[in-house]
Chain A
Amino acid sequence: MAVRTIEVRESLMARNNELAAAVRQRLDDAGVTMFNLVSSPGSGKTTLLERTLAALGEELGIAVVTGDVQTQNDADRLARHTTRLVQAVVTGGACHLDARQVTEALDQIDLSVTRLLFVENVGNLVCPASWDLGEESKIVVFSVTEGEDKPLKYPKMFRQSRYAVINKMDLLPHLNFDLEQAKAFARQVNPELKFFFTSALQGDGLEEWFSFLRSRVGASRS
């Protein structure tokens, strides 16, 4: 028999990356800035988005795509704070969103009235790091109730993110969390990482976060 070897050498991410590039182009053409919010479960992504939608939803024309393994609870929570579109993607078991799901979600969103789009990824610090969704940047949310060594344990996610929101800062006095050490660990894996320090629940630090979002809407990609 004749067994032939076919050299392929194609990235397993090639198709996802093609779709992500198309998403990026589509958003660029529509003048929409997209951030991909990533974190472990329970870091406060949804609460941060609730506060952001309540404060800036209309001003910045915010739309949200949420990803959850099961339930559309997060989308329902967010929809209570806004008349803006919140599109839920139930992954049915998958541990991350991919560019195909975002492409389909975009079909449900009126981009002509949207200027800022958040993707709330599945709570998971591993898998979402590998999937480009066409975002301008990944933003990792990291709460002080987690270990300060999270950046060392999950370096790819912190390396892939341009911004880190350190959340639940109101709890800091009650915890052994070493903030300076956490920042040092994060900068060890990504020296360029920019930080925000927030309590999404109590409102601390949100003005700086809001100012940042205002500055990024309509800004050209860097």
Chain B
Amino acid sequence: MHELSLALEVGRMVEDHLRTNPGRLVRVGVKVGLDAGVEPDNLAFCLETVFAGPPFHGAQTVLERVSGDVLRLDFLEVDDGRPDH
């Protein structure tokens, strides 16, 4: 449940960022410390669940395990629909 709360918070933060960086969300990167009190596989599953549904529609989630008690939304990849240059 703790992991689901965190995954929902990631969803809320991503929605905030998409308001200022509109586009289709492609990937979401999250860093989890080994001492963060979080079960990484469980969090990965919860993130997949949150980002499978609206408004994210299947964005890929990338969970990186690091040392310490880090727990953060690291990056987003957004397709803004404009052609490459």
Contacts and interface: CB of A to CB of B under 8 A. Distances in A.
B82 interface: yes
B26 to A, nearest CB: 5
A74 interface: no
Contacts, number: 84
Given A126-B2, A127-B2, A130-B36, A8 B75 contact: yes
B17 interface: yes
A12 B79 contact: no
Interface residues of A, number: 25
A106 B49 CA distance: 33
A171 to B, nearest CB: 29
Choose among B5, B6, B13 the residue with the greatest number of A CB atoms under 10 Å from its CB: B5
B38 to A, nearest CB: 8
Contact of B78 (A4, A10, A13, A95): A4
Contacts of A179: none
A138 B26 CA distance: 40
A93 B79 contact: no
Contacts of A7: 74-75
Chain B, interface SS category = mixed
B37 A4 contact: no
Contact of A13 (B21, B71, B77): B71
A6 interface: yes
Nearest to A93: B1
A2 B36 contact: no
Interface string B50-85: 000000000000000000000111111111111111
B17 A11 contact: no
A174 interface: no
Given A8-B73, A15-B13, A98-B5, 16 more contacts: A1-B82, A2-B79, A2-B81, A2-B83, A2-B84, A3-B78, A4-B23, A6-B21, A6-B78, A9-B73, A9-B75, A10-B72, A11-B72, A12-B13, A93-B1, A96-B2
Interface of A: 1-13, 15-16, 93-96, 98, 126-127, 129-130, 156
